[in-house]
Amino acid sequence: MQEKALITVIGEDRVGIIAKVATLLAEANVNILDISQTITGGLFTMIMMVDITHCNLEFEALKKSLSDLGAQLNLKIEIQHENIFRAMHRI
């Protein structure tokens, strides 16, 4: 079964955010299924739906490398399993 997760990136806008996140995901063999992104009042917000079924990292390691990248770029990057959103927001 396909396992999906949601990545959220929030912070100040700058050049190359999507590229850097996408590169990290490609290296971890995580496929991006959907991206939506907005900038409101200079605040960059991006949500990605990704497929982690064939990810070559443990979930914990993936989470850590995303949050490390976030620290480098001065952004908050979170990854959470899709189920929690499905449980909370879909009946």
Partner 1 sequence: MFNFGEILETLKMIQEENLDIRTITLGVSLLDCVDSSIAKTCENIKQKIREKGQYLVETAKKLEIKYGIPIVNARVAVTPVSLLAGGFTETETVKIGYALEEIAQEIGVNFIGGFSALVHKGFTKGDINVLNTIPRVLAETERVCASINVATTRAGINMDGINFSARIIKETAERTRDKDGLGCAKIVVFANAPEDNPFMAGAFHGVGEADYVVNVGVSGPGVVKRVVEKIPGADLEELANEIKKTAFKITRVGELIGKEAAKMLGVKFGIVDLSLAPTPAMGDSVAEIIEAMGLEYCGAPGTTAALMMLTDAVKKGGAMASSMVGGLSGAFIPVSEDMGMVRAVEVGALNIEKLEAMTAVCSVGLDMIAIPGETPVSTIAGIIADEISIGVINGKTTAVRIIPVPGKKAGEYVEFGGLLGRTVIMDVNRFSSEKFVMRGGRIPAPIQSLRN
Q: Which residues bind partner 1 (CB under 8 A)?
A: 6, 8, 34, 36, 38, 45, 47, 49, 59-60, 63, 78-81, 83-85, 87-89
Please state the closest distance from residue 34 (CB atom) to partner 1, in A: 5
Q: Which is nearer to partner 1, 27 or 34 (CB)?
A: 34
Please state the closest distance from residue 73 (CB atom) to partner 1, in A: 18
CA torsion 35-51-73-9 (nearest 10°) is 50
Please state the closest distance from residue 66 (CB atom) to partner 1, in A: 11
Q: Which is nearer to partner 1, 26 or 61 (CB)?
A: 61
Tokens for 79? 């990854």
DSSP state of 29: T
Angle, CA of 10, 16 and 9, to the nearest 5°: 15
CA dist 73 and 91 (Å) reads: 37
Residue 61: partners with Cβ closer than 8 Å, 6 or more residues away: none
Please state the closest distance from residue 85 (CB atom) to partner 1, in A: 5
